[in-house]
Structure formats: C-alpha cells, structure tokens
Structure 1
Amino acid sequence: MLEGIDVAGLDLATIDSSDFADLGEFDGLGEPPARTRKQRLSEARAMRTRNRISVRRAKSEALLRDLLPPFIEDGDSWHVISSGDVDSLSFLQHLMACEPWDYLMVSTWCMAMQDVEQLAAWLAAGQLQWVDAYTGEILPSQYPTVHEALCTAVRKHQGRVATFRNHSKVMLLGNRHTGRFVVVESSANLNTNPRTEQTAVTADAGLFHFYADFFDGIESFNDNFSSWAPWRQAAQLVQ
C-alpha cells in the first residue's frame, strides 16, 4: 500500500487509529447501505443567536485560564482558537471549577480513558449528578475498555451512554437550581491531541435547549440504558 511513497520522514509510531477517518460508511459505493441497526432519523435544524462575542487565542491549557473569565455572563459567547494541549476537557475543567453544575451532556466521536476517569471523579465527588454521553461507533468497536468504563461510571449515578453515527462535538452544562446553562461547541473530540481546534463557549438557555431537544431524541445502537429518561424531564424543565 505504501509502494512509491517515501515514508522515511514519517514517525509511524505516533500514528494511531484516531488519526484516520472511519471509512466504513463508504463500503459498497453505489449501493444503498444496509440498515442493520436501529437509528433515529433526525432532521437537520438551525438556530440563530445574538450574543456578545469575544475572541481569544490559546496556546496552552494554562493560558486558557487567563483568557476566559471565571464566570461566563448570560448572553456572552467566547470564541477560542487553540493549538497545543487545549482540548474540550480543558474547557470543561475551567467551567467546572468556576461554578456548580448538576448536568453534563457530552457528544464526541471518541474519548480516552483519562477523560472517562475525570467524568467519573466529578460524579463520585458530587460535582455532577447526571451525565449523558453520546459517542460514535468507534468507541465501543475500537476502544471497548474505554466504552465499558464510561458505561460503568454513568450507571453508578444517572444518565446514559448512547452510540450512533456521531461525529459532533458539543457539551452542555446545566444547573436547575441556579437556572444557568452553558454550551461548548468545538471541533475537538474529548481526547487530547496536538492539533489546532476552535471552540465557542456560550451561556444561553435557548441554545442549550436547542441541542438538548436533538440529543434527547437519539436512539442508541446499544439498548443498554433502557430505563433512561431525559434530565430536563426529571428536573421538570420540560413537560
């Protein structure tokens, strides 16, 4: 496969499966894909927001603490372009350290074991009561130990782990007592990588519910949280 390609300068030891796209969807081009798994067919949707916008650059996780305010004001949207060790978990850590939250929703293609351990630690410490995690098929199929650890951590508390044809990177934080809702939209998965990524952090209840409406309706390929009900329903935020 590498015939005719000069690989002398490539550090193949640093390349892993997360550096490659999931090409399974291209099998059998020209033929309609067989539906072997049940999945909710969701229609695309859009929402316009009018928020105060601030832009920043971040080169390291430590710098991120200096760029973002400790409290994101309602209606504010902070946009960050980053390179280095700033990943989605860095933004979560910043927000978790600054104010209390009940609920976390995270949507990612994949994640690493240290990310699961951090989520489990927040749950165990009572800093979160509920976690909904939405992943791509890559997590249970190529990283089964990480997927099972995530399921185990969530089952001890409240929430669910859902798998579907997912490549979105969105996180929602909510607190029903303070009425605070924050959305993190990013190009980055939850796992750390050295690539340039962009992220927007927005404190807006309408945007929170916009995404929650979509993800609450997702039907997972794995029916392993059959008793799950949406957090907003349990928190009496929706009927």
Structure 2
Amino acid sequence: MAKLEGKIALVTGSGQGVGQGIALALASEGAAIAVVGRTLEKLEATCRLIEARGSEALAVECDIKDPGSLSACVDRVVSRFGGINILVNNAQEVPLGSLEAVSDEAFEAGWQSGPMATFRLMKLCYPFLKGDGSIVNLASTAAKRWDASHYGAYAAVKEPIRALSRAAACEWGPDNVRTNVILPHAKSPGLKGWIEQNPEEASAFMASIPLRRIGECEEDIGRFVAMLCSEEARYINGQSIAVDGGQAYMG
C-alpha cells in the first residue's frame, strides 16, 4: 500500500519547480493533491501529471497574499475532497538584492506571501489537520550564510516561517498535528535564473555543496517531503531540516 493512500494534500506554488516536485512525489505515494497557485494553465498541467500517476488532483487559483483568496481555497479543497491531511506552504515571492536595492514593495510582497500566508493558511487548515495532520513549511538557508550581503531581505522573510512552525509544532502537537520545515536547494526556475545571472557566484555555491549538485525537485526534495508526511516520520516534529546536499550547518 502507498504511504499516503487516502490522504489529501494542499500544496501551494505547485504549478512548477519545487512545489510541483513535492506534489508529484506526494501523489506517487497515493495522496490526492490540491494544486494551488496563481497561473491556472500551470496548475492544470501539474494536475495532468498527477492524474497520469493514478491520483486525484484539483487545480485551485489562489493569491496567497490575499486572506479572502486563501479562505476560499481551503473551502474549495474541503468541499471537493472532504478534508485536508497535509499542508505544504511552498509558494513565496522573495526579495533579492542589497538592502539599498530592495524596495519596500518587494520586501512587503515577500512578507505577505511568506510568513503571513504561512500563518494564515496553517490556521485555516488546522481544524482539518487535527488527528493525523502534517504541515511542511519551506524556509531557506540564506540566514546561515557566512556573508549575508545581498541576502538580508530574503533571509528576513524566511526565518519567521521557522519560528511560526516551531510554535505550531508545540501548540498543535497534542492534537497529533506535526509541523516541520525544510530548507531546500533544488533545480527550480528561480534558481536557474539566478545561476544564469550570477555564473561565478553560482560556481562557488556549487563547490560549497559536499554532494556537488543541486537537488532534483521531485526525486530529492519531493520524496523527502513525502516521507516526512508519512507514518515513517510520525515522531518528527518541530524540526528545521536542510535538504541541501550538506551545505548548511544547522547547529
């Protein structure tokens, strides 16, 4: 029997990249997937890939910066599938650049799509997750960099997600809701663009990864998330886990 047979997963930003990889991996283990994001065409493409693997999928257009859109998203997923067992907060806009270069608007978009969206969606899903739920939130190792130049704003909108996740793990653990964080390196469209724009820094970045490669969205990141949401990881709660080939030291 598949590890996640009968489970319902809501994955934000699953029209492409890491979110899509996670959605596909969860579907391969038997979960039905609510594919959530901004671009319907991309969401429907992911749904077709999921359905080809024999799992159910629902495309849900959603602006994660809008509380009303998040609430409507959860209502639609529950109406279609009857509940939610797994929540993956993946989607986020990230402000990159020096402190002087990052605008207030870019920073605010990172805050609203990251910590605020995570905070809101966890609370919306909590009543359905009680009993056997798993939350996986995505953060970043940007705050672990020795030289934080040009990554301060990025780290600043990712680190609060770890704090919120730890609180959820402690407050909701008695209800058998587990909350964990992954900090991944993966071949996402965003990372690809960064590599193309910063070839020298990207080369040094690659050399700093002990495994000497960037993770695959489904095979490396998605499958780990699927395991983390399964009974095999039922005692893992409140942890931040770097899924990055050994680059970051989380101690």
| TMscore range, shorter length | 0.3 to 0.5
Bigger Rg, structure 1 or 2: 1
TM-score (norm 2): 0.31
Relative to the length of structure 1, the TM-score reads: 0.32
Which protein has the bigger strand share? 1
